[in-house]
A and B are shown apart, each in its own frame.
Chain A
């Protein structure tokens, strides 16, 4: 399967004569030192990854780690300093302004942390904006906008103005606006961090539902680990502009690449994320097992009931192949301690 988005050796350096940094010894300096020496700030450093079609790809990192810069580089809202980006197999950096506009109009849409709605337009006209600038007729764009508003549950509010809506509703409008042009890729830059926790959960459900319904490729920026874990098929962790680790939620929790990632995932309840594969042990010679084995993809928490009831250890299998066994001795530490380093 060809990737939807491919990023190779992407750099973004802010500051005077930023183009003189990449490819020189300066590029190897840590961020702070580079800044002290040249006044340049490397917001994104040598980042490479692929996003598969239909995937939810989450980018995570602390504030200032370069997430927003990275996601804006994808459609050149911020011009990258060097590296390659291709979307749908076409190089974005080679596009002329006209082609780039086409890309933004039809293929890639974005949802912003601060919504970016136009206060002088009604909700319906906000959602129709993308179609309007493509030159679609009034009737067509209003019909399409109304459909998308229904999709996010705002059909009642078409004629209201953004400042008459709550934050959550405003972000639904932002979402509808992005969906209205029916793009292949949706980019989200911390879309829910300005919202209350309860509304945030609602919106996360909404995104999951929409993803299931319309099946787009999603790149989702967040600094909220819980959000990353619930939404992401894969998660990339950024630190000071550099990619530290890319992997499934399980990979991150079970095998953090370094102490930065480990710190991030420290408070995650392991039993909710890790599967049995991470805690099983080799069977002792001649050990007897329960009759019914468990799949190695079972999340720990779901296995608790059976393991604790069983008299004997339970086999962990991948199809028919037995990978190991598990009993209460392995299970309990993973359940009780969040902070213990899980053995790799």
Chain B
């Protein structure tokens, strides 16, 4: 669920996210004061209206019209899956094709056998990214065997690679088109925007409807989840090719295809390699989640263990996922970095020889009859469960106090208020405040999205999820801004923490549930903790970058005027970094929502649980689909409300 994480810094030198070309003129002082008054009046009005009109917050019916509608859609699809031309000539073929792809990849990987696959990954790592990475890959893949998770790991790898293959086949050409053909770019942009704020869960149910549960649906959902990044980053790379080089090649008489093949693609190759890297990381993160729709692999172990709140049992699988993520990330970033090097022809030839030798080696090793079961076995389950038991025993007061304090003191009251707000008042408030923050266009979309949950008959669950999200985002921002400010002011700390942040951003979201469950058991608060851990790293990043992007000349001027460090921070740096802070809030919110929904698995209930229940229980299908839709609407609502931040209130200067 790292879709909203900004691509690696190379792609956005100097905080390019916050371009200044479209900056609106700064509002006058009077305008700002007036909008503050308007906000105050609106707030009073909203509170008064709430007190007058609040409802008793009845529980959602389990038989809303929307549920019945989705159920009937499902019934129609089930009845016509083998007769309707849509399925007969469309979706069913797609399903067969993807199944074929998955089987081929699976056959290729398992055909190598344990020894062969380990050797192959080691060789690929060494050739593409250097011998250190090769060793890392070797150790990592051996570890799958030691953990007794070899087959699950291979399954996860197979699904990930299949989805990445599809994403690259579809995404790279689309990215090129988006960069080169104006209308394609203009059409794709809003679509990608929406796709990138969609929480993972929302993709699952529609996929099962169209492709049944299982591997094809999982691969397609993963592809849909990952492909926006492929398209975006490829398009970025192609459009950043210097026009001077293109012009010079045109002046020599290149055809369009020669320009693409000999100039644009080679010059964008580093960025495209990074696009593949991002695609792989996103795909891995999603593949783990598709365990919910019956995809095999490590995700299954985690889902099963989490549903039994058995952290130890999930831990091994969590470790394996992290190892897989790190190995794949290292290999692809290493390969991307190498595309930037120039090698003399001789060295290039040596590399071919090395690659050939490695291939021969792999073939030889594949013949060695070593199996994963021959390795010594080790499992973290027992020690981890001991640790969790110890924590429960000794920290019970602290964890329980924290959990209950926040639940009773903040979460419950907020939830009550939201649930008992009449839907029309909520919509009106969203529209009014949205107009103030982001302008009427965004507010209109947000208000429509806000009306959705009521229409779907999921008001209570939606507001519960929203309350959890709001609490989590406040905590996330508090922690993230504090650490970000610290990092911006202490270089040593920043360099120390950066690898940690890097690692955190490559980790699949599921993994974050484990420490939260270990500490807090299954509850709404667990989801909040997981969401905070998940969303803090990018927030820290954006805040730090925002602060560091404050021009040094301004800081110098403030210092020479005699500001204390504290004054400097509050009066100069934070106000000037507002753009970065607000962007961080926007990103944080989208990530928090995604994680809170996943938290439905570990006791957060509400919409996330509805979605999961929809997969497992036939009679709850319609509700699950409706809940998925409600999640998307919440995502749009939150994103649009905060989107105005970085469109209308970027740092000026």
Contacts and interface: CB of A to CB of B under 8 A. Distances in A.
B253 A130 contact: yes
A77 B250 contact: yes
Interface in B257-285: 258, 262-263, 266-267, 269
A115 B345 contact: no
Contacts of A120: 266-267, 269, 342
A105 interface: yes
Interface string A317-336: 00000000000000000000
B563 interface: no
B255 interface: yes
A201 interface: no
B249 interface: yes
Interface string A109-121: 1101011111111
Nearest to A164: B342
Interface in A168-184: 174, 177, 181
A134 B267 CA distance: 21
Contact of A104 (B251, B267, B342): B251
B262 A129 contact: yes
B266 A133 contact: no
A13 B253 CA distance: 24
A112 B249 CA distance: 11
B248 interface: yes
A195 to B, nearest CB: 16
A101 interface: yes
Nearest to A124: B345
B247 interface: yes
B244 interface: yes
Contact of A118 (B250, B251, B253, B267): B267
A117 B245 contact: yes
Contact of B252 (A105, A114, A121, A161): A105
B4 interface: no
Nearest to A106: B253
A116 B247 contact: yes
Interface string A91-132: 000000000011111100110101111111110000001101
A118 B246 CA distance: 9
Contact of B258 (A102, A119, A133): A133
A49 B331 CA distance: 59
B253 A101 contact: yes
Interface in B310-361: 342, 344-345
B648 interface: no
Interface residues of A, number: 31
Contacts of B254: 101, 133
Contact of B247 (A77, A103, A106, A164): A77
Given A159-B345, A161-B342, A116 B255 contact: no
B251 A77 contact: yes
Contacts of B263: 118
B250 A109 contact: no
B347 to A, nearest CB: 11
B267 A114 contact: no
A112 B244 contact: yes
A217 interface: no
A133 B253 contact: yes
Interface of B is mostly: helix
A119 B267 contact: yes
B244 A116 contact: yes
B253 A102 contact: yes
Contacts of A65: none
- In this complex, the interface size class of chain B, counting residues with CB under 8 Å from chain A, is 20 to 34
A132 B259 CA distance: 12
A81 interface: no
A129 B266 CA distance: 14
A105 B266 CA distance: 21
Given A112-B244, A161-B342, A75 B251 contact: yes
A278 B598 CA distance: 89
Interface in A137-173: 159, 161, 164
A134 B253 CA distance: 8
Contacts of A104: 250-253
A102 B258 CA distance: 14
B253 A112 contact: no
Interface in B192-245: 242, 244-245
A134 B262 CA distance: 13
Contacts of A103: 253
Interface in B341-394: 342, 344-345
A119 B266 CA distance: 9
Contacts of B258: 133
A206 B195 CA distance: 57
Nearest to B256: A97
Contacts of A181: 252
Nearest to B245: A116
A130 B252 contact: yes
Contacts of A129: 249, 252, 262
Contacts of A102: 253
A187 to B, nearest CB: 8
Contacts of B249: 116, 118, 129, 133
B251 to A, nearest CB: 4
Interface string A214-252: 000000000000000000000000000000000000000
16 contacts: A77-B250, A101-B253, A105-B252, A106-B253, A109-B251, A110-B251, A112-B248, A115-B244, A116-B242, A116-B244, A118-B262, A119-B267, A129-B262, A133-B252, A134-B253, A181-B252
Listed from nearest, the 3 A-B pairs whose CB atoms lie closest are A116-B248, A105-B253, A104-B253
Given A101-B255, A109-B252, 16 more contacts: A101-B254, A110-B248, A110-B251, A112-B251, A116-B247, A116-B248, A117-B248, A118-B263, A120-B269, A122-B342, A129-B252, A130-B252, A133-B249, A133-B255, A133-B258, A159-B345
